[in-house]
């Protein structure tokens, strides 16, 4: 199985267009909004989430180039972890793709039909197949299972329905290799340890480095409660991701969905070094993984 890290930044990307915080003014390499693509054979690819930057991400990845026919594309569909705009808006950019398949939690599909009618919008351009995710299903030979991890709804949702609203995906290649993708992890639930126990690689929520990052001098004016309400476990701290990662020595962990305030974005920072020392990575956009 192969995976492309198309984007590794949180909503708004890095640097964020309307932000002059220390990190956004640091001149560091830019990152696009979080999204990956997976493939069993390197020919047919499925997106996991579809960021607003999806067009640029596809053009930057030679593996996703169209052809050989004038309208052929290796992109077969998408899996959505949640209904957030930064994970779904990119589907509108794929509206020319006929017959794409989309899997998502039932609550997410409900939101994309009633709150933000994306299903209706793209259906006017071509027939897509929308499927609610179940506990286990298959995508072109890859075995997929889910773990509900949060009931956080997007701000635009008006019609409340039962969750889960956010899931983590485990993708298993019968030929070998298991990938877990969890870019929006509110806490580290007890079930998550067993969910990742046999994984070869875990791509994990790295939105914030510290529990109070948004109220620090990096981004003044936003309190800690507001940061917690965003639904992202911090990397550091007594119950941060690095504490839990320490219980899984030898497993490969990669942080994604880095917020524009996160000092880990700077590869020369002590926070970035702490991630490496803690047994994880924070790779840039464009990396291909063989799993």
Mean pLDDT per 10-residue section of the chain, whose length is 291 residues: 98 96 96 98 97 98 95 96 97 92 97 96 91 94 97 92 95 96 96 98 97 67 59 93 97 98 98 98 98 95
Token representation of residue 8: 């590794």
Question: Which of 261, 203, 274 is closest to 6 using CA atoms?
Answer: 203
pTM of the predicted model, to two decimals? 0.95
What pLDDT sits at residue 197?
Answer: 98
Strands 280-281, 35-39: pairing is unpaired
Q: Is 140 helix (H, G, I), strand (E, B) or coil?
A: coil
Q: What per-residue string of b and e applies to 66-82 under the rule 16 or more CB within 10 Å gives b?
A: eeeeeeebbbbbbbbbb
CATH of 2-285, one of 3.40.720.10, 3.20.20.370, 3.60.15.10, 3.40.50.300: 3.60.15.10
Mind listing the pLDDT tens digit for each residue in 237-269? 999 999 999 999 999 999 999 999 999 999 999
């Amino acid at each position: 199985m192969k995976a492309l890290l198309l984007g590794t930044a949180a909503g708004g990307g890095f640097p964020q267009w309307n932000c002059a915080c220390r990190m956004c003014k640091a001149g560091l390499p830019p990152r696009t909004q979080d999204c990956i693509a997976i493939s069993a054979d390197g020919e047919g690819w499925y997106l996991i989430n579809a960021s607003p930057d999806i067009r640029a991400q596809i053009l930057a990845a030679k593996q996703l180039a169209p052809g050989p026919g004038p309208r052929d594309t290796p992109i077969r569909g998408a899996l959505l972890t949640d209904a957030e705009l930064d994970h779904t808006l990119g589907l509108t950019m794929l509206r020319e793709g006929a017959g794409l398949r989309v899997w998502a939690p039932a609550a997410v599909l409900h939101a994309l039909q009633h709150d933000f009618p994306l299903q209706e919008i793209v259906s006017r351009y071509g027939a897509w197949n929308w499927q609610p995710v179940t506990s286990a299903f298959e995508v072109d030979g890859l075995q997929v299972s889910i773990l509900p991890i949060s009931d956080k709804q997007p701000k635009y949702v008006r019609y409340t329905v039962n969750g889960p609203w956010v899931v983590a995906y485990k993708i298993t290649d019968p030929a070998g290799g298991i990938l877990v993708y969890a870019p929006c992890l509110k806490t580290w639930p007890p079930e998550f340890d067993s969910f990742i126990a046999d994984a070869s690689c875990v791509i994990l929520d790295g939105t914030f480095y510290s529990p109070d990052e948004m109220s620090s001098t990096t981004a003044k004016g936003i309190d800690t409660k507001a940061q917690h309400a965003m639904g992202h476990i911090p990397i550091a701290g007594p119950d941060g991701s690095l504490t839990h990662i320490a219980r899984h020595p030898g497993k490969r962990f990669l942080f994604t969905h880095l917020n524009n305030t996160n000092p880990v974005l700077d590869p020369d920072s002590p926070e970035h070094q702490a991630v490496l020392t803690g047994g994880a990575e924070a790779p840039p956009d464009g990396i291909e993984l063989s799993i």
